[in-house]
Structure formats: C-alpha cells, structure tokens
C-alpha cells in the first residue's frame, strides 16, 4: 500500500508541476501569436487527446514523468509561407525570451499560491523547545540547556523547528561564530548565545543541522507501541503487528520507544528475544533486525517499524495564520527565501561544501511525496511548493536543453544583434545533454544507494 501511495503521490505532484510549467510556455506563446501544435502532459503514446479551434492538440500521454509544448518552428519542420508569421523562430527576440521565462515563472507563481493557501488556512507547527544538549557540543559550551525555546538564528526570527532548520541549512560551510537567540525556561527574556563552529555541516549526507550543534528537540515520551509495520521487513517477518506494545528485550524491561530503538540499532543481524502485549495478552517473539549502512561504513539495526503517534501538549503547538492580504506578502517572502536557499545550495555543491550524494532523483521524490501526503494536506502542499521552486530554479540554469540555456542564447542574440550560430547551438546541445544526463544518472545512483 505504501508503494502504491508513493507512486500515486509522485504522479500527482509531477503532473501538477509539469502542467503549470508547460502552461506558462503555452499561455505566453499564444499571447505572442505563436502557433502551438501540441500541449502534452507526459511522454510517449497519447492516452487521450483533442484538438481545439486554434489547431492545438491537447494530450495526456502514457509516461507521466514530464511534458512538453511543441510550437510551430522552421528549425524543426518546413512551414507553409502563409503560417511563417506564426512560427516561434520568426518572432522578435524579446517575445522568445518571454516564452522561455514563462515556464519557470509559472512554477514560482504556483509556489506563491500554494504558500498563500497554507498561510490563509493556517498551519500548526511545533514550538522549537530544546529537549537535550549534548555535553561538550557547541550548544552546550555556549550555554544552551534543556527547556530553552529558540527564537532567532543569526538575527533571523524563528517560530518553529522548520524555521530553525531552514535557517541553519543556509549556513552550511559557516566558520566562526553562530548566533542563536533563545528564551530560557525560567524567564520570558530572550538571551543571545554564541556558538563556535568550524566548517559547519560541510559534506554531511544528509545534513544534520541540529545534531551538528548538539541540540535534540523536545518531544513527548513515546510509549513503545508499534504504529506502523513495513511489509517484508524484519518486524513483519517476526510477526509483529500494529498496536503491539514492547515490554521486554532480552529480559530487560522497556518503557520508552527510544530504549527499544537503541536495542534494535545495536543488534544488526543478531536475534533479539522480545516480549509484547497484544490485546491484553503477553507473547514471546524472536526479532532479528536487518542492517542499514552508515556513511562511516558501520551498520545499524533496522526492523521496518514506526512508533504510534502521541498528542503534543497544546503549549508546544503554535498556529501560524494570516489574513488574505497579509498572506500575499508572507507567500512572496517564503518563495524568495526558498529560491535563494536553492541557488545557494547549488553553489555550495559546485564548490564542494555540500556532498553530491545529497542529490535526489525520482525514487526519493516519490518517497517524500508519499510521506508528505500521509502526513496531511499542509505537508503535501508545502512539499509541492518547494518542489515547484526547485523545478523553476533548475530550469533557469544556463545549461543548453534547459530553459536557461535557451534564455542564454537569446540574451546573447539581443546583445549581438544576430542569433547564435546553428553550429554553436549544436555543440551546446550536446554538452547540455551530457550534463543533464550525468546529473540524472548521479541522482538515480544516490537514490538507489539510499534505498539499499
């Protein structure tokens, strides 16, 4: 069921993003008097199509992992003389630039609308209260302690753990002092703490913003009750079921979920004798955790099970909601922040501060799509907005075959007064295909490594 949900979620996400992107190209092309031959959602053989009064074929194709808008263009096929004024290549360069930019612009607009809807509907977030601080960590040395509520990072106000993580991720590679503002549990006055960091989170995979500072978020006690079992994994093979309460592991009493997790992590490939309570009856079972590799080469135990959720205290939940007008500014601000963060992450990956192994491909996108859909509508819409921004940014990179590559050619044409030669464009096309193909293969490889 989880796999089916992931597949359906990624089809919905990619379908929406691609449709909006291509509609941007289509809408501006029509306004510029360019004839659009086909608007296709998906690749391959059309499953459904119809032709409108303008001669444009709208199609839904069999492979739902992309889409395209095909325009009348003399570079692709002969164009009758009476139709040449409607060909893309005959239009002024500024109109061609507008058509190219329209696709990514539609993705940014979709993100703004999604964030606006979230801010108007309201989202519930977790107050960034510190649960524990590791001894001798940067946070401990600076004076942060259990119960402190984080209120700012590097002068930027934060009100949730999402805000904290986004602010910290933007500081990857930071050297020197990192300023955090927090409100101690016993007072209402925020204090400033200065943490000493060196090459913060450089090449971590995945980045661990809080753990790198020695901070563990506060969370309620989780009883050792199973809330999720993944089919085919160790927990399912041992006969464990949702609702089982773990009471003993190898004769040791268990009253906290994390204590059970610690036993599992330290027992990769080794049998554990466990006792569970199911429907009021005690049962003895043998559970043999599988293994999951770490970056260091070590392995930890893994059983494919999750804890049953518990209710968070009301005082640690915070409602974020804005009026329809105020939400516009907030949505624009969040979209701008995420766009700059994406661009900065690309830069840091190119200079070696972020490991290329953080690249994500279709498998990871499908998994996160499914997870966000199961987490609720607000999580799903937030992920959709973030992915839409990523698609817009990536398409604007100056790589031939992407929108940014075409934009580069047209800007050069605008400056020089004549088009880039067909030979130069052909060379650029081959280079662009090689670059994009390499990135896709790398992303797929890292996807598979994460999967295994």
248 is catalytic: no
What is the DSSP annotation of 331-362? HHHHHHHHHHHHHHHHHHHHTTSS-GGG---H
Is residue 317 helix, strand or coil? Answer: strand
Cα gap 79→232, rounded to integer Å: 57
Residues paired with residue 177 on neighbouring β-strands, in sequence order:
196
Long-range contacts from 235-243, C-beta under 8 angstroms, 24+ separation: 235/287, 235/303, 235/304, 235/305, 236/304, 238/285, 238/286, 238/287, 238/288, 238/303, 239/285, 240/276, 240/285, 240/287, 240/303, 240/305, 241/278, 242/308, 243/278, 243/308
Active-site annotation holder among 22, 57, 233, 248: 22
- HSE on the CB side for 123, CA within 13 Å? 21
The backbone torsions φ and ψ at residue 59, rounded to the nearest 5 degrees and listed phi first, read -140, 150
Cα gap 70→57, rounded to integer Å: 10
Give the active site residues.
22
């Amino acid at each position: 069921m989880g796999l089916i949900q992931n597949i359906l979620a990624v089809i919905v996400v990619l379908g929406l993003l691609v449709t909006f992107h291509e509609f941007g190209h289509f809408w501006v092309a029509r306004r510029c008097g360019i004839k659009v031959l086909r608007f296709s959602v998906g690749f391959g053989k059309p499953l459904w199509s119809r032709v409108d009064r303008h001669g444009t074929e709208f199609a839904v194709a069999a492979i739902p992992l992309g889409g395209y808008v095909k325009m009348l263009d003399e570079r692709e096929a002969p164009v009758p003389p009476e139709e040449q004024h409607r060909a893309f290549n005959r239009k002024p360069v500024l109109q061609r630039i507008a058509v190219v930019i329209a696709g990514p612009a539609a993705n940014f607009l979709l993100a703004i609308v999604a964030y606006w809807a979230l801010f108007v509907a309201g989202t519930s977030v977790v107050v960034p209260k510190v649960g524990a601080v590791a001894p001798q960590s940067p946070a401990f040395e600076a004076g942060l302690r259990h119960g402190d509520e984080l209120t700012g990072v590097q002068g930027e106000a934060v009100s949730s753990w999402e805000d904290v993580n986004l602010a910290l991720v933007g500081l990857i590679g930071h050297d020197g002092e990192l300023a955090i503002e927090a409100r101690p549990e016993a007072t209402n006055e925020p204090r400033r703490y200065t943490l000493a960091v060196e090459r913060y989170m450089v090449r971590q995979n995945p980045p661990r913003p809080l753990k790198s500072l020695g901070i563990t978020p506060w969370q309620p006690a989780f009883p050792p009750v199973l809330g999720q079992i993944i089919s085919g994994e160790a927990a399912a093979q041992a006969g464990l079921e949702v609702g089982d309460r773990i009471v003993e592991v190898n004769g040791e009493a268990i009253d906290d979920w994390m204590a059970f997790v610690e036993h599992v992590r330290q027992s990769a490939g080794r049998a554990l004798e466990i006792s569970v309570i199911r429907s009021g009856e005690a049962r003895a079972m043998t559970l043999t955790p599988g293994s999951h590799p770490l970056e260091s080469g070590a392995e930890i135990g893994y059983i494919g099970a999750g804890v049953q959720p518990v209710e968070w205290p009301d005082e640690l939940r915070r409602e974020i909601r804005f009026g329809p007008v105020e939400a516009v500014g907030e949505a624009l601000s969040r979209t701008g922040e995420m766009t700059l963060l994406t661009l900065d992450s690309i830069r840091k990956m190119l200079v070696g501060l972020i490991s290329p192994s953080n690249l994500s491909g279709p498998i990871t996108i499908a998994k996160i799509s499914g997870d966000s859909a199961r987490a609720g509508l607000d999580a799903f819409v937030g992920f959709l907005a973030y992915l839409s921004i990523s698609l817009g940014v990536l398409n604007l990179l100056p790589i031939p075959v992407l929108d940014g590559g075409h934009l580069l050619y047209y800007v050069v044409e605008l400056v020089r007064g004549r088009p880039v030669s067909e030979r130069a464009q052909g060379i650029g096309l081959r280079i662009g295909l090689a670059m994009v193909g390499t990135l896709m293969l790398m992303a797929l490889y890292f996807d598979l490594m994460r999967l295994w």
